[in-house]
Structure 1
Amino acid sequence: MKIIRACIYPKDIQCITGRSERYGRKLLNVIKEHFGKEPHQFITSEECAEYSRINIEIVTDYLQNVS
């Protein structure tokens, strides 16, 4: 059984959206603010999909193929 990562990193956002890694870092900070998280907390795949309105299956499929 393959373990799926729960956390999203800037490189993941870069690969999913086709944007730069710097954009990924900025987006993670915006998502943290949106959900009221502190800087040391992680963003989950569900939160990323909800905020960006990307289908959760797309994010999950990407994480399964990368891990």
Structure 2
Amino acid sequence: MPQVCIHPKEVAQLTGTKYGTAKVLLQRIRAELNKPARAYVSVAEFCQYTHLPEEEVSRALNGTSAAANQGQRI
């Protein structure tokens, strides 16, 4: 099942930042979307805010490579 929500640890890995910076980014996204402090942030919301391609982020979170998804050999 594909992952729908994104967590600070994953944001840090995707963006190459520290955990604390990732937490602040998720807080900013929640504030922008008028969500409560502990509400989940979806992968789609994260991608819309950061302008990262949702397909690539989903692949990274679900542990599959682009080549594998296109049926190519790695």
1:46 counterpart residue number:
44
* Structure with the larger RCO, 1 or 2 (CA within 8 Å, 6+ apart): 1
1:57 to 42, 55, 58: 55
**What are the equivalent positions in structure 2 for 1:5-44 lying under 5 Å apart?**
5-44=3-42
- Displacement over 4 Å in runs of 4+: none
Structure 2 residue runs of 5 or longer lacking an equivalent are 65-74
How many residue pairs are counted as aligned between the two chains? 64
What is the CA-CA distance between 1:20 and the residue it aligns to?
0.6
The higher radius of gyration belongs to: 2
Q: Which structure: greater helix fraction?
A: 1
What is the CA-CA distance between 1:60 and the residue it aligns to?
0.5
Q: Which structure: greater strand fraction?
A: 2
Percent sequence identity is: 23
2:38 and 2:54 mapped to 1: Cα distance? 24
What is the CA-CA distance between 1:65 and the residue it aligns to?
0.5
1:56 and 1:24 mapped to 2: Cα distance? 17
TM-score normalised by L of structure 2: 0.81
